Amino acid sequence: MPNFSIDVSPADDLIDVPRRIIVRGAHPGEPVRISSATLRNGTQWRSTACYIADAHGNVDVSMNPAIDGDYYGIDPMGLLWSQKPVQAGRRDQFHADVMAPLETTLTVSALEQPGLPPCTPASTRLVQRLAGAGVTRREVRELGLVGTLFLPATPGPHPAVMILNGSGGGINEPRAALYASRGYAAFALAYFKAPGLSDYISNTPLEYFERGLDWLRAEVSPLHDFVAISGQSRGGELVLLLGATFPQKVSAVLAYVPSALVHSGQNAADPTIGREGPTWLLRGQPLPHQWQDNRTASWAPFDEGPAPHRHELAMLTALQDEEAVARARIPVEKIAAPVLLLSATDDGSWPSSLYCGMVRDKLAEVAHPWPVLWRNYANAGHSILFPFVPTTQTTYAHPVSGRISTGGGEAAANARADLDSWQQAQHFLRDALTRHSSPKETS
């Protein structure tokens, strides 16, 4: 009886490293099944796909298309991004301890075919790490700041990046750990829904983030005094706002599915203040926001629309009041740094493509003297992360309000956006650091 073998290379590496998965020992032309299983924070996630062995009895997942299963076509990492949780409703993609690796079991087995003796199944292990060897993690509870600092294994100084979450709150340790693994002093700063902080986004002072930037500089003495800020969703709105408010303290802005406008508290609001109440304070005063005195804004398309509900539809009603939009617009022309904009055409949370277009157009209008890069991902949704994580869970209950809605996007398109956005972010930061360290070239 012939025996399968399955190999993955590299077997153990950082999560953003693509792998090559090869099956050997099949009968030529035989259909075979490869399944994946990963334990993610206590929940099993699984996927499966079928392939046809080549004339040598091999299947190379980077060259042979999946003809059936949880994804189709040629994709070297399709078995990972197409995973779904066995327990419905679970969305945790990483362990609570980000220093612990994700371990995936890949198993190859035969499909019953008349006249062919069955092959013995075989398995192998694929390990993905957020934190590379020597990366250090340190909880920060200083000066009222709540976050986690990750430092690379190599001696400093390193360029720095401050990472801000969206309307789910908390501390974005996975992204910070991966940044540290790629050579950055990475500070994941929480601003609500974390120990010692408010449970809600309402009335968050911008001075808190200024203090975070100052602390990061003093703590790590960044290479060339380079401190970038990265945020997604409400964090994307926030990093544009911080770049415009504290331009001399921000060296680069990475805005994932951001808004061009200041928004109200929305789904992360304190219920006693309401979702139309203010989010951001500056010098104790609330910033004008999109819903404030807006003559066309309506929650009805979101609240009463068909399931899965799209928050984006309510945001579009508010954009019809041009005066309200003008009052709420983030003055991105005050940013004194390169800007990376990442958006999605099927963003169900808010119209990030429209918002990024507004930002790009304003920066072009004022002849922004730093690079502006915009990537707009076709058919992708709101949850753009980094590569080789599951992209299938797009409808969920908001972690603060509990309202069920969709972030939009097709799983395959979301996976493509995850991969390209991370590659773009790395190139963007390297270029920004080079320009930052050569002032004459940026003047």
The distance in angstroms from the start CA to the end CA of the chain is: 71
Q: Given the structure tokens 């706002």, which residue do they identify?
A: 241
Q: Rounded CA gap, 265 and 189, in Å? A: 19
* Average pLDDT estimate for 53-68: 97
Q: Which of 382, 383, 421, 436 is catalytic?
A: 382
In the chain, the percentage of residues whose pLDDT exceeds 70 is 97
pLDDT for 443 equals: 38
Residue 116 has pLDDT above 70, yes or no: no
Is 151 found in the same domain as 291?
yes
Give yes or no: residues 98 and 154 share one domain.
no
Q: Is 5 a catalytic residue?
A: no
The answer to whether residues 335 and 383 belong to one domain is yes
* 418: three-class secondary structure by DSSP: helix
Please say which residue of 129, 152, 182 terminates a domain.
Answer: 129
Mean pLDDT value of segment 324-333: 98
H or E element at residue 79 = helix 78-81
Mean pLDDT for the chain? Answer: 95
Residues 76 and 162 in one domain: no
From the number of C-beta atoms within 10 Å of its C-beta (0-12, 13-18, 19+), residue 398 rates as middle
Single-letter amino acid, residue 215: W
Residue 247 has a CB neighbour count (10 Å cut-off) of 13
Using CA atoms, how far apart are residues 130 and 382, in angstroms rounded to an integer? 22
DSSP state of 261: B
Q: Domain boundary at 129, 150, 182, which?
A: 129
pLDDT above 60 for 125: yes
* Beta pairing, strands 31-40 & 43-52: antiparallel
Checking if the pLDDT of 115 tops 90, the result is no
The reply to whether 197 and 311 lie within a common domain is yes
CA distances, 333 to each of 17, 137, 412, 416 (Å): 36, 36, 35, 30
* Residue 89 scores a pLDDT above 90: no
Alpha helices in 262-310 (DSSP H): 300-303
Per-residue pLDDT of 411-437, as tens digits, reads 999 999 999 999 999 999 999 999 998
The pLDDT of residue 2: 59
* pTM, full prediction: 0.95
**Looking at the structure, do residues 112 and 178 belong to the same domain, yes or no?**
no
Write out the two tokens for 275: 């979702």
User: In sequence order, what are the residues at sequence separation of 6 or more whose Cβ sits closer than 8 angstroms to the Cβ of residue 304?
Assistant: none
Task: Pinpoint the alpha helices (H) of 256-399.
Answer: 300-303, 311-318, 322-328, 352-365
Strand duo 280-282 + 204-205: pairing = parallel
CA 355, 357, 363, 365 dihedral sign is: negative
Q: What is the pLDDT of residues 201-223, one digit of tens each?
A: 999 999 999 999 999 999 999 99
CATH value at residue 391: 3.40.50.1820
For 221-273, how does the pLDDT look when each residue is reduced to its tens digit (9 = 90+)? 999 999 999 999 999 999 999 999 999 999 999 999 999 999 999 999 999 99
In the residue annotation, 382 being an active-site residue is answered as: yes
With a cut of 50, say whether residue 19 has pLDDT above it: yes
Residue 51's CATH number: 2.60.40.2240
Q: Which of 35, 233, 259, 264 is catalytic?
A: 233
* Residue whose pair of structure tokens reads 């409400």 in the numeric block: 234
The pLDDT tens digits of the residues spanning 33-52 come to 999 999 999 999 999 999 99
- Residue 394 and residue 285 in one domain: yes
**What is the domain extent for residue 29?**
5-129
Q: Specify the range with the lowest mean pLDDT, choosing from 89-98, 339-348, 354-363, 367-376.
A: 89-98
- Hey, is 415 helix, strand or coil? helix
Has residue 441 got a pLDDT over 50? Answer: no
* Together in a domain, 90 and 156: no
Instruction: Check whether residue 82 and residue 140 sit in a common domain.
Output: no
Please pick, among 16, 70, 346, 347, the residue that the annotation labels catalytic.
Answer: 347
Instruction: Quote the percentage of the chain above a pLDDT of 90.
Output: 92
User: Is residue 36 among the annotated active site residues?
Assistant: no
Confidence check: pLDDT of 112 > 80: no
Could you tell me if 343 and 377 are in contact, meaning their C-beta atoms sit under 8 angstroms apart?
Answer: yes
pLDDT score at 113:
64
Say if residues 290 and 269 touch (Cβ distance below 8 Å).
Answer: no
Give the chain's radius of gyration (CA, Å): 23
Same domain, 252 and 310: yes
Whether residues 54 and 160 fall in one domain: no
Domain count, the chain: 2
Please check whether residues 114 and 155 belong to one and the same domain. no
Token digits for 161? 């990046």
Residue at which a domain ends, from 129, 146, 171: 129
